[in-house]
Amino acid sequence: MAWLLIDNSNTRTKFALADAGSLTDWRRTLATAVVTPASLADITAAVDFSAVMVCSVVPAKAVILKNFFETRCPLHFLSHESPLGMDIDYPLPDQVGADRLANAVGVLTRHGVPAIVIDFGTAVTFDVISAQPAYCGGVIAPGLGAMSGYLPQKTALLPAIELIEPTSAIGKSTVHAMQVGAVFGYRGLVKEIIARIRGELPGRPKIIATGGDAALIARGVPEIDAVDPDLTLDGLRQVAARVFPCD
């Protein structure tokens, strides 16, 4: 029987089925704003699963998920108290987001450690996993969407833009100039943070990107070794294998 994995983030909530060996091809996504008992009933109506594993960074939606699933099957919310397969070298482990812990678990077996995981979502997070292995901490910065969306909200003449690869560094229109500032400027932020972390982390860490804007930004950041869109979900799967052992 499969497990239902749920990655409940600020913008989107992803659903996947998995077993002890791998993720399956079944995937669904909802805008987090529309996660309700009705939408959950609809999205799970035609699938079979024996347990549910959740990582959530949206408390109000976590309550909805808990109330919907807890009477139906075994349910586990990932936290620092879950069986992660690594230590946590962090003074206040309860403050580490569940999605960040899932990424750390995923990178350990999929890519190896030491590692830096960069998750490009509503916020961009950098998570550092030592060779021990242990989760060591990281960085939180505004996501690319937040940076690019701020100017249209706070200025009278600057428009909303599509985030695409700029054709040159010298903008030839307002939109082009904003795309340069967003994409090239954001890559500069990423490179500087990577350089600072490398200076403090022993060894030669692998740098793995995931999340919605990962592919776009990674094209111009050679320091990134791989883009892994399934990293968070597979980290959830690995924890599920420890929480819900097969018979």
Q: What is the mean pLDDT of the segment spanning 183-188? A: 90
What confidence score (pLDDT) does residue 25 get? 93
pLDDT in tens, 27-46: 999 999 999 999 999 999 98
Q: Is the pLDDT of residue 182 over 90?
A: no
User: Are the C-beta atoms of 149 and 160 separated by less than 8 Å?
Assistant: yes
Q: Is the pLDDT of residue 146 over 80?
A: no
pLDDT in tens, 62-72: 999 999 999 99
Q: Is the pLDDT of residue 161 over 80?
A: no
What confidence score (pLDDT) does residue 164 get? 84
The larger pLDDT score, comparing residue 148 to residue 40, is at 40
Q: Answer yes or no: 99 catalytic.
A: yes
Residue type, 51: A
What confidence score (pLDDT) does residue 51 get? 96
What confidence score (pLDDT) does residue 180 get? 86
DSSP-assigned letters across all residues of the chain:
-PEEEEEE-SSEEEEEEE-SS-EEEEEEEEEGGG--HHHHHHHHTT---SEEEEEES-HHHHHHHHHHHTTTS-EEE--TTS--SSEE--S-GGGS-HHHHHHHHHHHHHT-SSEEEEEESSEEEEEEE-SSSEEEEEEEEE-HHHHHHHHHHH-SSPPP------S-SS-SSHHHHHHIIIIIHHHHHHHHHHHHHHHHSSS--EEEEEETTHHHHHTT-TT--EE-TTHHHHHHHHHHHHHS---
Q: Is the pLDDT of residue 162 over 90?
A: no
pLDDT in tens, 224-236: 999 999 999 999 9
Q: What is the mean pLDDT of the segment spanning 147-165? A: 76
Closest CA to 145 of 88, 210, 212, 82: 212
Rounded-to-integer distance, Cα 7 and Cα 197, Å: 26
pLDDT in tens, 83-138: 999 999 999 999 999 999 999 999 999 999 999 999 998 889 999 999 999 999 99
Which pTM does this prediction carry? Answer: 0.91
Domains defined along the chain, listed by start = 3-143+185-243 (3.30.420.40)
- The number of C-alpha atoms within 13 Å of 140 and in the hemisphere containing its C-beta is 8
Among candidate residues 99, 119, 228, 234, the one labeled active-site is: 99
Q: Go through 137-149 and write b for each residue having 16 or more CB atoms within 10 A of its CB, e for each that does not.
A: bbbebebbbebbb
Report the residue count for the chain.
Answer: 247
Q: What is the mean pLDDT of the segment spanning 135-158? A: 81
What confidence score (pLDDT) does residue 227 get? 97
User: Are the C-beta atoms of 197 and 128 separated by less than 8 Å?
Assistant: yes
